Structures are given as C-alpha cells and as structure tokens.
C-alpha cells in the first residue's frame, strides 16, 4: 500500500485592487458578464471572462432553463464559445464571479466539477495552462496557476484506450 498526498497552491488576495492590472481588468470583465445571466430560478448570477492571447476578451454567464438540467454554467458558456469560435487563440486566464440579491457572498465561488473537466480539456487542447481568478466582488480573490490545482485527477482521452 502506498499513501499519496497532493498539495495545491493558490494565492489569496484580500481585494481585487491588489491584483496586477491585467488580472484586475479580467475580474471586472467577469463582473460585467453578470448582466447577461439568465438565472430566474436560482437568482444566483455567475459571470465568467476569458482573456485570450490576442488580447480579446470573451464573456460567459450562467444560462438556466425551466427544465433545470438543460441550463449551463457561466464557465462552460464562455469556454464552448471559445471552442466554437476562437480555439486558435489560446486562453491565458479566466475570471469567475457571482452575485445574488438573496444573501451576501463573502468568499469566491469555485467552479463545479463539470466545468473543471472542460477547463482541463481546453488547457490540454491549447497545450498551456490558464490562470484561474476566482473573484468575490466584495471580498477576496483566489488565484491559481492552472486547472490542475483545482482538479488534479481530470479525465483525459488517454483513458479511452488500453494502457500498458
Ligand atoms: Zn460549472
């Protein structure tokens, strides 16, 4: 028997104002993306913004549907838009934030497992990690160097063939 331990690293900033300008800007873009959220059921808006290598910024927001499983998270709305339209322009960083009028949000929202899996595949396709900025509008920002820190056991296509 061998017991393993995985350590992850992230940087905790007290406020968005402490970030370098490009990261600060991307967090504010994620905040802008909240406006397009369609979330009448949860009343929980999520915004995502991608910074591409060219400097282009893409927005995504959570899109709910009365048939609940038909909806999609902000991160995947942004990532699938990138995949369909801009996949030759690598993602440098991704910012995610959330807002609701129902209660104060005191910590950054973290991505769900489904989004992490898609983020991991986007990184693999572009052969470079994306910085992840988890932004709490009135609180801290958590910054990670790549998706591996959030999902070290992502599923990749190598698993679809017999390993030796
Ligand atoms: Zn998600």
Three-class DSSP labels, 56-114: CEEEEECECCCCHHHCECHHHHHHHHHHHHCCCCCEEEEEEEEECCCCCCCCCCCCCHH
Question: Ligand 1 centre from 11 Cα, in Å?
Answer: 21
List 29, 31, 64, 75, catalytic entry? 75
Tell me, what's the pLDDT at 111? 97
Neighbours of ion ligand 1 (CB under 5 A): 73, 112, 115
Domain ranges of the chain: 12-150
CA of residue 119 to ligand 1 center, whole Å: 10
Task: Record the pTM.
Answer: 0.95
157 in catalytic set? no
Ligand 1 centroid to 161 CA: how many Å? 27
For the purposes of burial, counting CB atoms within 10 Å of the CB of 35, is it exposed (0-12), middle (13-18) or buried (19 or more)?
exposed
Q: What is the distance between the terminal CA atoms of the chain, rounded to a whole angstrom?
A: 21
Quote the ligand 1 centre to 135 CA distance (angstroms): 15
Rg (CA), the chain: 16
CA 162, chain centre distance (Å): 31
pLDDT digits (tens, 9 = 90+) for 110-164: 999 999 999 999 999 999 999 999 999 999 999 999 999 999 999 898 888 887 6
Say how far apart CA 105 and CA 120 lie, in whole Å: 26
- What is the rounded average pLDDT for all residues in the chain? 96
Q: What is the model's pLDDT at position 24?
A: 98
Topology of the domain comprising 12-150: Cytidine Deaminase; domain 2 (3.40.140)
Q: In this structure, what DSSP letter does residue 140 have?
A: -
């Amino acid at each position: 028997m061998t017991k393993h331990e995985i350590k992850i690293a992230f940087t905790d900033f007290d406020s968005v104002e402490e970030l370098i300008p490009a990261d600060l800007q991307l967090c504010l873009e994620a905040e802008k993306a909240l406006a397009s959220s369609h979330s009448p059921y949860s009343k929980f808006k999520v915004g995502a913004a991608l910074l591409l290598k060219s400097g282009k910024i893409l927005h995504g927001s959570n899109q709910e549907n009365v048939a609940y499983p038909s909806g999609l998270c902000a991160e995947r709305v942004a990532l699938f838009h990138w995949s369909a339209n801009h996949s030759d322009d690598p993602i440098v960083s991704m910012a995610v934030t959330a807002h609701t009028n129902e209660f104060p949000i005191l910590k950054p929202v973290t991505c769900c497992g489904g989004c992490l899996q898609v983020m991991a595949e986007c990184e693999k396709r572009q052969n470079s990690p994306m910085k992840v900025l988890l932004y709490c509008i009135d609180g801290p920002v958590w910054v990670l160097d790549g998706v591996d820190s959030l999902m070290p056991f992502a599923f990749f296509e190598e698993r679809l063939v017999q390993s030796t």
